Structure 1
Amino acid sequence: MSTVIDQAVQARLIASAPKDRAVPAQLRYVPSDPFAVHIAFPPMASLDGADVAWAFARELLACGLISPAGGGDVHVWPCGPDRTVLEFHAPEGIAMVQIDTAELRRFLARSYALVPAGMETAHLDMDTDLTALLDSSP
């Protein structure tokens, strides 16, 4: 049986107009995808009214709690002692949210309790993943 960590958090969507607003978000960690963390936002948080989900490196989130991190579609950095900014880049534009740093630390601690840092590869099922990849090829 695989344990999945789901944690609801309150995010503050940073906007230039009309104003910042609070939106619920859901953090998720799945040991079968041990290098990644997932965050999902409800339709009310998007411009087109659709659910929005992102996956990015667990290590990126951990590093971003301490100092600015990221170089691709996701950037993370501390914003004072109590908040952390997550910035998401998409073809439609950039979205930035602030989340309580203590909530993110709690989420990461729970993920490391399931899969310690450096032990991620022990949780990968390479045979199943390879079979799925080969079965999906034309």
Structure 2
Amino acid sequence: MPQPTSAGLPPAQTLTQTMTTELLTGLRPVRIDTTLTYRSRDPFTVGIAFHLLGKGVILWRVDRDMITAGAHAPTGRGDLHLRPTAGDKVLLRLGPPGDTATVLADRDHLTEMVRQTYVLVPPGSEGAHIDWQPFLDHLDG
């Protein structure tokens, strides 16, 4: 069971879910083992780790509200864009123009993970879960 921190923060908690995504290439889609991770101490983001054979892990940190929005309508800017597609999928476009990876993910897996994050850390309560002390210590350093 998680223990309270000395700073009086709620206990740190982590959610993890695995799924398979598809990297869209010019030839054929490539299946990728993918891990979604949410940490209550980083309450605004979901980590999406793509486990690439022979190339290690590529990690993207995605705003949980952006995942929810992108499951229903196109959203994003810069190096990250999401949009729903036919067949209950979400298309993630990752990276700058000219060096982009396009990944298809199951919408239900993504939205269920985000739903669980909202149960763990309800919207509007995120600030109470952030440990600001390391940042403040760095400023004093």
Q: TM-score range by the shorter chain?
A: 0.7 to 0.9
What does residue range 74-89 of structure 1 map to in structure 2 within 5 Å?
A: 74-89=80-95
Give unmatched runs, 5+ long, in structure 1: none
1:113 to 119, 122, 130: 119
Whichever structure has more helix as a proportion of its residues is 1
Instruction: Decide which moves more: 86-95 or 21-30.
Output: 86-95
Residue 13 of structure 1 is matched in structure 2 by 23
Instruction: Answer yes or no: is 1:26 the counterpart of 2:32.
Output: no
Residue 9 of structure 2 is matched in structure 1 by none
Aligned Cα root-mean-square deviation (Å): 1.9
User: Take 1:77 and 1:22, find their aligned partners in 2: how far apart are those partners?
Assistant: 19
Percent of residue pairs identical:
29
In structure 2, relative to structure 1, the CA distance for the partners of 1:80 and 1:90 (3 Å cut) is: same
In structure 2, relative to structure 1, the CA distance for the partners of 1:14 and 1:133 (3 Å cut) is: farther
Q: Deviating runs (4+, > 2 A) in structure 1?
A: 127-130, 132-135
Give unmatched runs, 5+ long, in structure 2: 3-11
Q: How big is the shift at 1:68?
A: 0.5
User: Take 1:20 and 1:35, find their aligned partners in 2: how far apart are those partners?
Assistant: 30
- Mapped contact 2:67–2:111 kept (Cα < 8 A): no
What does residue range 117-128 of structure 1 map to in structure 2 within 5 Å?
A: 117-128=123-134
Aligned length: 131
Residue 56 of structure 1 is matched in structure 2 by 62
User: Take 2:96 and 2:56, find their aligned partners in 1: how far apart are those partners?
Assistant: 14
Q: How big is the shift at 1:37?
A: 1.0
In structure 2, relative to structure 1, the CA distance for the partners of 1:122 and 1:93 (3 Å cut) is: same
Q: How big is the shift at 1:90?
A: 4.6
- Mapped contact 2:33–2:52 kept (Cα < 8 A): no
User: Take 2:95 and 2:79, find their aligned partners in 1: how far apart are those partners?
Assistant: 5
1:69 to 63, 70, 75: 75
Please report the TM-score for the alignment, with normalisation by the length of structure 2.
0.84
- Which amino acid in the other structure matches residue 6 of structure 1? T
Please report the TM-score for the alignment, with normalisation by the length of structure 1.
0.86
Instruction: Answer yes or no: is 1:41 the counterpart of 2:27.
Output: no
In structure 2, relative to structure 1, the CA distance for the partners of 1:125 and 1:41 (3 Å cut) is: same
- Which amino acid in the other structure matches residue 78 of structure 1? P
